[in-house]
Structure 1
Amino acid sequence: MDRRSFVGCGVASLAVLAVQWAAVEPRFLASALGGTGVDDGFVDWLEAGGNGLAGLPTEQRRHTGRLMDAQLATVTQLITRGRYGPRTGRRLHRLAASLATTCGWHRFDQGQHADAGRYWETALQSAHAAGDRDLVAGVLADTAYQAIWLGRPRAAADRLGYALTGAEHPTARALLLLRRARAHAAVGDRSACYRDLAAAEPALGRSAADPAPGWCGWMSPADLAVDSGRCLLDLGRTAAARARIAEGVALLPPSRAKTRAIFLSYQARSHLHSGEVEQALAAGTDALALATRIGAPRCLALVHDLGPAFARHHREPGVPELLDRLARA
């Protein structure tokens, strides 16, 4: 682990990571690879470290790519060279899937789509090896989201259909249905879109004995509202879309900065569709400032995509300034 891996972490996060690394006794890894067997305490630490890195705020997590890669490499090494029983093997494969998923999202946010796909393929294989059907569904959901982003909604709908056959938790099903609705809206299939939206809302509100899987634990009414609005926008229902997106933006907690930047870009688009340039300018300006602050190229790309629509209103106050900022971002 070279010192450049830590550059950009907040002071508090850096201190925690340093203590964690120092606290791991070298004998754990040596014994795991030397024939004694994988120590459960070491697996506990790896799980805690991976969750800690994934839980950092977006503006800090973007600097921890090397740390995540190192964590995944360690777990992969344990899987391929260590000695362990079936239970520990499932834990290691589940951890590898989780780490590879997070690494994939990091690449996806940076616009490195081929690399993201390779990490998600690794995650899918590891989730299968762990026998975790919900986690398999989660990885498929991520690859489907990428497919929608890259303009392949039919492929996304197919993957989400398969994922729904393995997902049991109601929150997981709500997310999968919502993403499939987005795919259906992108190809103009109104009835399929409305059917999935109608099923997603009660699923999200349904109680369950167990907590939602980690890959969808963040799913909330805010996500349901905004993505429903984006579906309606794709289907030409601009007024209804604008109301749903505004509802979701208002519900979203400040801690979810990256999601807020994406939602604000959707909101700007909905206002542009209605000719409400002043409101679109406010949302687009906020989205650009937030995406720039957290260093999320994927979010910046969404705002850049609004440029041609704003350019049609270049005589409106504030629009030339925003276009200039977009050109320099």
Structure 2
Amino acid sequence: MAIQVGQAPKPLLPTRSVLDYVGAHIRYLRTRCGLSQAELGARIFVHRDLVRRIETAERLPSRELVERCDQVLNGGGSLLRLLPVIERERLLRSGRNGEPQSTVFRSAAMDRPVLDWLLATPSSGRCPPVEDDAVTRAAATLEQLRSQDHVRGAGATYPMLAATLHGRLPSLATTAPHVATGMLELAGYEAVDLGADGLAQRHYLHALDLMTRFGNRLYGGYLVAVSLAHLALHCGDPRQALRLATAGLQGTEGHATPAVRAALRTVLARAHARLGDEAACAAALLHVEADLARSRPGDEPEWITYFGEADLADEKAHCFFDLGMYDLAYRETNMALHLLPPDRVRRISIDTALQAAALTRAGRLDQACVTARHAIDHAAGLASFRTTHRIVLMLAELQPHANLPEVREVADYACATLQPLVTPA
């Protein structure tokens, strides 16, 4: 079958956006099959101009079109696996367009709750212990779910957490607001892991409302500058993340312990890196290292004790990757993977995928393919949209080299090994 001759196809950078990766992959599969855009359009019952617009990242394809392309182009499921990523992109775009849906993330929805928190009268933030079997059981359930979440992913644990919140949240919000807030924070974190960004935002804002009413300035600042700011970064809004991290730091001045301040400043560094401000990112990271050096575990809130050298190395790796410093990103992922305990399965998988992406950008393709397989192996047992999404981003880095046998083998291995992505709800 003859390929149309004419204008050269628009160059795509698969890692630039979901649209670019989907378009590039469809173009790759189409040319591999020897079909023109018009011939593919005829086989999937659409006009060739729609094929062109999808391949040039001008249009998001529908579910039906992706399914037909996967079948006609012998995609082997590689396009079907992208459906949840495409659906999340559709939800993000509807949120940016101001559509009033409760299922979408909207940056503007955070402004008023954060202002309310800033204006609230702070208290010591210390909740007197409640001698109550129900509270004790709820706290134990929270710790158990946190542990399982790291190992299994939110697809396995969120239903249990949602049931617990539905039955116990109203009473816990009165008797043990710190436990209720911890559950809501975990629910937000798990909603991100499900790809349900709008749901995550609602959980985090509910937790922030509790801490605002309770007067816990410190935990509220963490929710603003870490939970909500990370969510903004995850949804592609680094400027909002920068505003939130700054608000959290200013609002906890005089209250923050060194480890809490370090966690808040780390997100500040991430936002600067995403915006390409290398100097501001480096300055923030220097403050983080100084804060951690001053931290004493006995003086820190229990909920921040997780944050240490492994998490800092992970955050630095993301900063360096966003700044184009791929050798440094590789070094920091090595550090994080060395320090992370083996039960942090999701974090290990994400960091390994980031390492493979850094190796690809650095031109170390053979090593990148080996590392990519390790990332896929770690992700295989997880029910986690976020982890598999990170694998998809890693495959997008490799996509320009899809004609190489070792790269094709990695893509085939991902299709055969990974569970289907959880569809964003």
Partners of 1:104 and 1:209 in 2: how far apart? 26
**One-letter amino acid matched to 1:116:** A
The structure richer in helix per residue is 1
Q: Please name the residue that 1:120 is paired with.
A: 204
Instruction: Kindly indicate whether residue 390 of structure 2 is the aligned counterpart of residue 306 of structure 1.
Output: no
Q: Please name the residue that 2:407 is paired with.
A: 319
Of 295, 306, 325 in structure 2, the residue corresponding to residue 237 of structure 1 is: 325
Instruction: Kindly indicate whether residue 66 of structure 2 is the aligned counterpart of residue 66 of structure 1.
Output: no
Partners of 1:65 and 1:263 in 2: how far apart? 23
Partners of 2:415 and 2:164 in 1: how far apart? 37
**One-letter amino acid matched to 1:307:** L
Instruction: Kindly indicate whether residue 154 of structure 2 is the aligned counterpart of residue 75 of structure 1.
Output: no
Any residues of structure 2 matched to 1:1-329 within 5 Å, and which?
40-56=132-148, 58-60=150-152, 62=154, 63-78=156-171, 89=174, 91-140=175-224, 141-165=226-250, 166=252, 168-208=256-296, 210-327=298-415, 329=418
**One-letter amino acid matched to 1:47:** A
Residue-by-residue CA offset, 1:191-222 (whole Å, 9 max, x unaligned):
21111011001211213373533443211212
| 1:94 CA displacement | 1.9
Check conservation: 2:317, 2:332, Cα contact below 8 A: yes
| 1:315 CA displacement | 4.3
Q: Please name the residue that 2:7 is paired with.
A: none
Partners of 1:221 and 1:319 in 2: how far apart? 33
In structure 2, the CA distance between the partners of 1:77 and 1:242, relative to structure 1 (3 Å rule), is: closer
Partners of 1:103 and 1:129 in 2: how far apart? 20
Residue-by-residue CA offset, 1:45-80 (whole Å, 9 max, x unaligned):
322222222233534463232332232233333268
| 1:316 CA displacement | 3.8
Partners of 2:269 and 2:143 in 1: how far apart? 30
The SS at the match of 1:295 is: coil
Partners of 2:131 and 2:336 in 1: how far apart? 45
Check conservation: 1:172, 1:216, Cα contact below 8 A: yes
Residue-by-residue CA offset, 1:268-291 (whole Å, 9 max, x unaligned):
111011100122112211112212
In structure 2, the CA distance between the partners of 1:60 and 1:266, relative to structure 1 (3 Å rule), is: closer
Check conservation: 1:169, 1:208, Cα contact below 8 A: no
In structure 2, the CA distance between the partners of 1:199 and 1:239, relative to structure 1 (3 Å rule), is: same
With 65-74 and 177-186 compared, the bigger mean Cα shift is at: 65-74
Check conservation: 2:151, 2:343, Cα contact below 8 A: no
| 1:144 CA displacement | 0.9
Check conservation: 1:100, 1:123, Cα contact below 8 A: yes
Gapped runs of 5+ residues in structure 2?
A: 1-129, 419-425
With 150-159 and 225-234 compared, the bigger mean Cα shift is at: 225-234
**One-letter amino acid matched to 2:140:** A
With 240-249 and 204-213 compared, the bigger mean Cα shift is at: 204-213
Check conservation: 1:170, 1:203, Cα contact below 8 A: yes
Residue-by-residue CA offset, 1:256-310 (whole Å, 9 max, x unaligned):
1111111111111110111001221122111122122122111111110122321
Check conservation: 2:229, 2:242, Cα contact below 8 A: yes
Partners of 2:369 and 2:390 in 1: how far apart? 14
Check conservation: 2:269, 2:282, Cα contact below 8 A: yes
| 1:327 CA displacement | 4.5
Which structure has the greater CA radius of gyration?
A: 2
CA RMSD, 1 decimal:
2.2
Partners of 1:220 and 1:71 in 2: how far apart? 29
Check conservation: 2:184, 2:207, Cα contact below 8 A: yes
Check conservation: 1:79, 1:92, Cα contact below 8 A: yes
| 1:190 CA displacement | 1.6
TM-score normalized with structure 1 length? 0.79
Partners of 1:297 and 1:163 in 2: how far apart? 28
Q: Please name the residue that 1:23 is paired with.
A: none
Aligned length: 283
Gapped runs of 5+ residues in structure 1?
A: 1-37, 81-88
Q: Please name the residue that 1:85 is paired with.
A: none
